Structure formats: structure tokens, C-alpha cells
Chain A
Amino acid sequence: MSVLPAGKILSGQAALATFLIFACAVLRTPLEADPVTHMLLQLPLLAWAGWFLADAISPVWPDAGLSRLNDNGIPGLLIVLFAIAFWMLPRSIDGALTSIPIEIAKFITVPLLIGLPLRWSWYRVPPLLRGVLKSNAISMLGVLAWLYSAAPVRVCNSYLVEDQKRLSIAFLGAAIGLAILWSARLFLPPVDTTTGKPTKPVRRKRFA
């Protein structure tokens, strides 16, 4: 068994991931007091921590992405989608606020089952599928915005109807923001499908 060099594990990305998780844990109370910061700040930051964690693990364990099982990225992406679906249930969010085990599960599963597998799968899935997922994410946020503003009931027992209305506006903002961001991306140089880094511009061969 090889001993991993500590210096490699404690890379900048690992530090960043740890920092994000700790920040989310320390600032739990204020972040979770408002559904907007709970769902649109804390949860994305936790997922982001998982993404950085994957980046930190990759150099130390080159086949961490399990290419044999996840070469096309679909299995990994499925984990991400199911985990997102679970944390989109209002009762999961209520549970995280009222039950410590569910809150702990959130801090573990959002980084490890959303951010981390997303990093190891996103650039492996076909670009067309990525496009479909992006457009779906935008429309899903739009649908949620409409649902939460029109719902005749309070979806979360732990949040006010007023909060729910603000959350719907925030979802709409996020949908518009992502639409602009991802559209703008089309005007930038293409991204390498395995690394996520911009590709070097390919010079077309001219035949003299």
C-alpha cells in the first residue's frame, strides 16, 4: 500500500472545499433562517465544495473518477440527479431544519453525491446532453418560481409564506442568471470535454 504524500492531499482545492464546508456549518443558523440563502447559497456552496474535493483527489488518485464504471459519465450523473431530486423535496428541507441526523446527512450527501460526482461526470457526458441538462435546469427553476408564487399552501412548515414568495422571485432570478451565463459562454472559446479547460484554438490547415 502506497503512502500518499500529505502535501498533495492538502492542496489548495482541498483547503477550499474544507473551508466551504466549515463556513456552511458555522454560518448554519443565519444561512438557514432564510429559504433563499438556504437553497440558493448554502446548498450550492456545499455542492461546490464537493466539486473542489474531486479536483483535490484527482491528482492523488488518478482513476478516482472510476473510468471503468463511469467512462461516459452517465452513472455519475444519475447519482447527481437523484441526490438533487431528494434535496428538492420540501420535506427534506424541513427535515434538515428540525432533525440533526438529516442536517448531518445534508452536509455529507450534497458535497459527496452532488458536487463530487458532477465533477467526475460532467465533462464526460456528450455535449448535447449537457445542453439538455442546462436548459432543463433553467426551465425547472422557472417552474419552481411559478409554483412557489402560485402555491395556495405553505410548502415548508419552517418557512413563512412571505419567504416562499421571495424564494420564488429568487428562483426566477437564478433562472435568468443561468440563462444569461450559459448563453454568454457560447461566445467564449470551446471547452475541452475531459478537463473543462478552454481548448487551444485549432488552426485550420490550408491547402496551398
Chain B
Amino acid sequence: MRQFLTAVAIAVIGTTTLWYATDGIRAVTTEGARRVQIADSPPAVSSARLLDNTGETINLVAPAGGVALVEFIYTTCPTVCVSAGILFSQLRDRLTEEGLDSRARLFSVSFDPERDGPQALAAYADIHGIDGRIWKVGVLRNADLPRILSEFGITVIDDNFGGYEHNAAVHVVDSNRRLIGIHDIDEIPGVIAAVRGLK
């Protein structure tokens, strides 16, 4: 009996621990945990300035009453950023078709200030047809880099081939600078719904 009660007590403690460790079986990965945390209480993100493809400084902000849709890239990225760029252009087209383009700004934000100067960004803008109107591309300044990556929950690691590997997603920031959603880059309907759902 004593052993049985000990076993039950351990099972209760163990289950509780695992429950908390997975946010109630909602997240087993760090990326999942970040999305759960954002759904529960949207964290604030601080302001950041970007150097864009024309050499001008722009603010990473949402239009009043709208959202900024932010993805993180580096222009020398051969794989995921290319598809991210293509999907972002599809997202821009959908937003325009649905008449939601006044409510959203798209930002492709490079985290590689060493290599992504205005020239590299201009080449990236050309490839993806970034007009700077509703979709802007810019690079973070070294001073803002660690803070912004940490606030958005982006982990950038070396891929051993001179590039980086990083978690790629569409980050939804509202005009009060709160990070209110994170969507997979290929999940366009979810992003559209998030933009439409704004009051």
C-alpha cells in the first residue's frame, strides 16, 4: 500500500511537471512554446530602425489600426528565404485582392548587416518585386540586432556553409507594438484572417 501511494504521488508530480513543461501539452518545441506564449499574452516589441534598399532609414511599424507582417531573412540565403520571399509576394497579392492592403505593411528584415547593404537589398527587392509601398525590405542595425531577435524569438545559427539557419515565420505586430501572432510562412489564409480580424 505504501509503495502504491508512493507510485501514485510520483505519477502525480511527474504528470504535473510534464504538463507545465509543455504548457498543458500545447508545445513540445521552443518554437511551439513561443507561439503559445504569444497567444496567451502578446509581448511588447521595441521600436527598430531599418536601413532599406534605397539607403534610407525606415521604422519597423504597423500603420495606425493595422499590422506589420514581419519576416526575418538574409539575402544570401539560398533556401528558405527564397521561398519566404515568394510566399510574401503571394501574401501581398492576396492582401491587395481582398482590399486589406491599407491595414498591413510587410517587412522583410535582414539580420545580416555585414553583407546586406542597400545594394544587396536592392537586388533582393528586384527579384521579388518589392515596391516599397506596402512591402519594404531593410536590414537591422548592429545595435538593434540582438534585442530585436530576442524579442521576436529568432534563433540564428551558423549553417557551416557561410550562411545561417533560422526559424522562419510571419510575425504579426499590431500598432501598439505588441506581437500578436506567429504563423508559418506558407500559412497565408491564417495571416489574412489575422489581418481581417483586426477591429
Residues of A within 8 A of B (CB): 68-72, 74-75, 78-79, 81-82, 85-86, 89-92, 94-95, 98, 153-162
Q: A86-B21, A153-B31 are in contact. Are A69 and B157 (CB under 8 A)?
A: no
Decide yes or no whether B197 CB sits under 8 A from chain A.
no
Decide yes or no whether B22 CB sits under 8 A from chain A.
yes
- Comparing B6-14, B100-108, B113-121, the segment that makes contact with chain A is B6-14
For window 14-61 of B, CB contacts with A under 8 Å fall at 14-15, 17-18, 21-22, 27-33
A-B complex: 7 closest residue pairs judged by Cβ atoms = A82-B14, A157-B155, A94-B30, A75-B6, A78-B10, A75-B7, A69-B6
Report B150-170 CB contacts with A as 1/0, cut-off 8 Å.
000001010110000101000
In the bound complex, CA of A160 to CA of B166 (Å): 9
Q: Tell me whether B159 and A82 are in contact (CB under 8 A).
A: no
Q: Tell me whether A69 and B28 are in contact (CB under 8 A).
A: no
Interface size on B, residues (CB 8 A): 26
Decide yes or no whether B133 CB sits under 8 A from chain A.
no
In the bound complex, CA of A162 to CA of B160 (Å): 10
Residue in contact with A75 in the complex, picked from B10, B17, B159, CB distance below 8 Å = B10
Q: Tell me whether A156 and B29 are in contact (CB under 8 A).
A: yes
Q: Tell me whether A160 and B3 are in contact (CB under 8 A).
A: no
Decide yes or no whether B2 CB sits under 8 A from chain A.
yes
Residues of B within 8 A of A161 (CB): 165
Residue in contact with B2 in the complex, picked from A68, A82, A155, A156, CB distance below 8 Å = A68
Residue in contact with A78 in the complex, picked from B11, B33, B165, CB distance below 8 Å = B11
Q: Tell me whether B18 and A82 are in contact (CB under 8 A).
A: yes
Q: Tell me whether B7 and A90 are in contact (CB under 8 A).
A: no
Residues of A within 8 A of B27 (CB): 91
Q: Tell me whether A160 and B157 are in contact (CB under 8 A).
A: yes
Of all chain B residues, which has the CB nearest A78? B10
Q: Tell me whether A69 and B3 are in contact (CB under 8 A).
A: yes
Residue in contact with B165 in the complex, picked from A75, A91, A154, CB distance below 8 Å = A154
Residue in contact with B167 in the complex, picked from A82, A91, A92, A154, CB distance below 8 Å = A154
In the bound complex, CA of A72 to CA of B160 (Å): 50
